[in-house]
Amino acid sequence: MDTNLWKVDRRIRKGSYLKLIRANSRKFVVLLIVGYLTCLLPRPATAQQDGAPELSAEASRAIDKGLIHLLSIQKEDGSWDSNGEGGHAVAITSLSLMAFMSKAHFPGFGQYGDQLDLGMKWLLKESKGRPDGYLGTVMYEHGLATLALSEMWGMARDPEDDDAIQKALEKAVDVILRSQNPGGGWRYQPQADGGEDTSCTQTVFHALASARQAGIYVPNATIAKVAKYLESAHDPSTGGFTYTPNGNRNVTPACTAGGAYIAQLAGLRDTEMTNSALRHLKSQAPGIITGGGRYYYYTHYYAIQAMVQAGDDEYAKWYPQIRDALISRQNEKGAWDKGSSHGGGSYSTPMAIIILATPHRYIPIYQR
């Protein structure tokens, strides 16, 4: 399946024909994908770029096993959480929905359509219960929810759900825009005077870039401020990105991976700042791939996308390494929970699935 169909469709969602395109053209693409996957699944799916590594049969099985595990822990109301008691449910539900979409499973369609429809409606209910548009308890959650809403927009079976997604997405984007700090970044709460850090900024801006790609208005000035922030958080001596511009100046793999990726999304793809961050990230391999430690999945969630944006050569070198490492880390239940923190396998499992499914490129923001 040619992912150019997705790219063209994403562009034409803008403008006066938005509802018509969203209700018909994009759903037509979804139905085509679901139909073709029925024929393609018995054999290994391949990457969409010539010369890029394939999604091996073993990786495909790991993804499917992981999705089945996610279904086994989905709550009756359609949500997922970090502790069985509603912890960070907005974030985990959003990531879980994205994990299924990375394998072309969408709300209301196909094998898992009913379960995903339930998850989508749970997220929409949460949005309706928050008139201010703020989703979750921290901006990390809000960013992930905004991303999921953006990537689901135009994909729902019921046009009324699509309209509800649009309203929720517009409110969520407004929260992000009004809470950007003067330095260009974001921190834990939606406050324009609340400080900023690279980790939170990369999660929030990832969502903002997706929304803009989908047709939601995002001012150029907002993106220019993000570029300003990245310059302040960049460490020229190593090429990496620090956690904060002032204070904690430690360069970390997670901030370097996410910083490089959002720099690419912000239009800084071929700058020395971005290229030096990629060089620094590669200099840490294979240790950061075969090792572990805190934020392992969070780091590689961004690292693989930075390599996709860097081009086929970089992606072809990086993906097989993280693919094999992730396959070896999956447990017998189909989950990933080693080397993570803040909720164990609750966020690591959907993130691992999204990383493994990179060759599919079914989600527009993960395309080059």
Chunked mean pLDDT (size 10), the chain, 368 residues: 36 36 44 42 40 81 97 96 88 97 94 96 97 96 98 94 97 98 97 95 98 97 98 95 84 97 97 98 96 90 97 95 96 78 68 96 86
- How far apart are alpha carbons 69 and 61 in whole angstroms? 12
Residue 17: per-residue pLDDT: 34
Is the pTM above the cut of 0.85?
yes
Sign of CA dihedral 268, 269, 274, 277: positive
CATH for 333: 1.50.10.20
Residue 235 · residue 249 · CB < 8 Å: yes
Structure tokens at 346: 């609750």
- pLDDT at residue 248, rounded to an integer: 64
**pLDDT for the residue 61:** 97
In this prediction, residue 54 carries a pLDDT of: 75
For the chain, the maximum distance between any two Cα atoms, rounded to a whole number of angstroms, is: 54
What pLDDT score does 345 carry?
Answer: 57
Q: Are 192 and 182 in contact (CB under 8 A)?
A: yes
Cα-atom radius of gyration of the chain, to the nearest Å? 19
Q: Residue 22 carries which DSSP code?
A: I
How far apart are alpha carbons 311 and 321 in whole angstroms?
16
- Structure confidence at residue 293 (pLDDT): 77
Predicted confidence at residue 344, as pLDDT, reads: 44
pLDDT of the residue at 207: 98
Helix, strand, or coil here: 241?
Answer: strand
The predicted structure's pLDDT at residue 247:
65
Instruction: Please state the domain count of the chain.
Output: 1
Domain that holds residue 168: 4-366
